[in-house]
Amino acid sequence: MRRKRHRKFQALLLVLCFIGLLIIFLVPFLTDRAPEPSDPNPSAAAVPEPDEQATVTPSPSPVVIEPTPTPEPVYADAVWMAVGDVMMHTPQLPGAFDKKANRYNFNPFFAEVKPILEQGDWVIANLETPMGGAEFGYSGYPQFNAPVELGEALNAAGFNFITNANNHSLDQGEAGILRTIENLKALDIPFKGTAASQEEADSAVLSEKNGIVMGVLAYTYGTNGIPIPEGKPYLVSLIDEEKIKADIKKLRDAGADFITVSLHFGTEYQITPNDEQKRLARSLVAAGADIIAGSHPHVVQPYEVVETTGENGHVKKGLIIYSMGNFISNQRGDSKDYGVIFKVNVRKNMTDGTVDFTDIESIPTWVHRYKPDHSYRYRVLPIEETITATTDTLLTEADYIVLKKNYDMLRNRLDSMK
């Protein structure tokens, strides 16, 4: 019994010794693994010594590139206006002569349309008569010559530009052209179509209104068989397609924003343009002309708007007016006593330089001829305005009926190619 107890005691001692040895070996190991005491200033502890401190490059802030805003376009507007043939037949002269003043007064011709013409910045007429004055003797068809007072009346009515390349330019010969040029210059009315020298013929005719520059060219199909004096081709500008295209380019290079080309062409008294008119006009628009202002048929013909693409890729409108008829003349019947005023709003984008036509209006007119005494009197009347007002005391009821009928006819004719 005592031996068993002794063995148990020995076993207990061995267990205790084993536990003691474990404690001796494990305590240092556990002490090494214990966390260090908390640093009261942890950020300071994290800072390395100066000689050990690394250079830290801060991360760049992202750069936000704002898109350049597209500038709002700035526009300029100006009004282009034109009429057809201005003629002076012999019956137009007596009633316009003021005996007291001993001179002609043609202002009443244009009094009724003056308020319309005054709306234009450029107001153009085709002067289809030499205006040589009394020295050449006044005459009508077939070889015209008009008083200088006709130019005065045109100027007073609002016309500020004349084209005069037509089949009657040479009716009074070279001297008649030169005197007409002198008279136009004295009236300070710019013109194109005839010239006193090659230098004048070659010079670019530009007219600026409201920051928009118009260039003008004018040509005729011929001069009624009257030869241009030898060595002086500059006196009258004749239609030459390739030369016109070259002239268009010269005007554009000289700074023209848009170009008007006056063409005296077509077939007399034909109410529709012929194939050559259409081909030539469209070819010139494709070459850079913006407005074709047609005359010569003595009746109103249709107009059309075509689209072309300019050198800068901008799609632009080209206006082709085949014939504006007779603005003032003594011709009667078969619509020869009708004409049309064209009014076009020209808008230039001052930001990129492009030009557009924002409004195109055609205003039919009628030459009212009446005889209050032994001489005829003449007035150019705006038809729609006249028949709407119905207050013109010089017109009869029959006049109004005819005007209404012919207004519809002209409207249909003008718009037939739109």
Which run of H or of E encompasses 215?
Answer: strand 212-220
Give the mean pLDDT of 15-19: 59
Strands 206-209 and 212-220, bridge-based pairing: antiparallel
Tally of CB atoms within 10 A around 11:
10
Task: Name beta bridge partners: 304.
Answer: 320
Burial class of 407 by CB neighbour count within 10 A (0 to 12, 13 to 18, 19+): middle
Tell me the residue type at 2: R
pLDDT confidence of residue 315:
85
Tally of CB atoms within 10 A around 397:
8
Name the residue with tokens 């005996």. Answer: 99
Residues 6+ apart with CB under 8 A from 72: none
Please say whether the beta carbons of 167 and 87 come within 8 A. no
pLDDT confidence of residue 308:
87
| 35-53 pLDDT, tens digit each | 444 444 444 444 444 444 5
CA–CA distances in Å: residue 389 to residues 109, 348, 384, 400:
19, 35, 9, 11
| 202-238 pLDDT, tens digit each | 999 999 999 999 999 999 999 999 999 999 999 999 9
Separation between Cα atoms, residue 139 and residue 218, nearest integer Å: 25
Separation between Cα atoms, residue 73 and residue 407, nearest integer Å: 40
Give which of 261, 300, 331 is closest to 80, Cα–Cα.
Answer: 261
| 99-122 pLDDT, tens digit each | 999 999 999 999 999 999 999 999
Separation between Cα atoms, residue 191 and residue 155, nearest integer Å: 12
Q: Which two tokens stand for residue 315?
A: 């799609």
Please say whether the beta carbons of 293 and 127 come within 8 A. no
Torsion of CA 180, 181, 186, 191, to 10 degrees: 110
pTM (2 d.p.): 0.83
Residue 56 has pLDDT above 70, yes or no: no
**DSSP letters for 283-319:** HHHHTT--EEEEESSSSB--EEEEEEE-TTS-EEEEE
- DSSP 8-state assignment for residue 278: H
Tell me the residue type at 23: I
Torsion of CA 316, 317, 318, 319, to 10 degrees: -160
- DSSP 8-state assignment for residue 124: E
Separation between Cα atoms, residue 354 and residue 312, nearest integer Å: 9
Strands 161-163 and 191-192, bridge-based pairing: parallel
Q: Which two tokens stand for residue 79?
A: 């009004």
What domains, with CATH codes, occur in the chain?
Answer: 75-415 (3.60.21.10)
Separation between Cα atoms, residue 63 and residue 395, nearest integer Å: 78
Please say whether the beta carbons of 153 and 105 come within 8 A. yes
Give the mean pLDDT of 164-193: 98
Which run of H or of E encompasses 76?
Answer: strand 75-86
Please say whether the beta carbons of 266 and 235 come within 8 A. no
The number of residues making up the chain comes to 418
| 59-75 pLDDT, tens digit each | 666 676 777 777 788 99
Q: Which residues of 129-145 are buried (b: 16+ CB within 10 A; e: fewer)?
A: bbbbbeebebbbeebbb
pLDDT band for 256, please (50, 70, 90 cuts): very high
Omega prior to 227 cis, within 30 of 0: no
Residue 320: what are its φ and ψ, rounded to 5°? -115, 115
Separation between Cα atoms, residue 172 and residue 181, nearest integer Å: 13
Please provide the average confidence, as pLDDT, over all residues in the chain: 90
| 125-160 pLDDT, tens digit each | 999 999 999 999 999 999 999 999 999 999 999 999
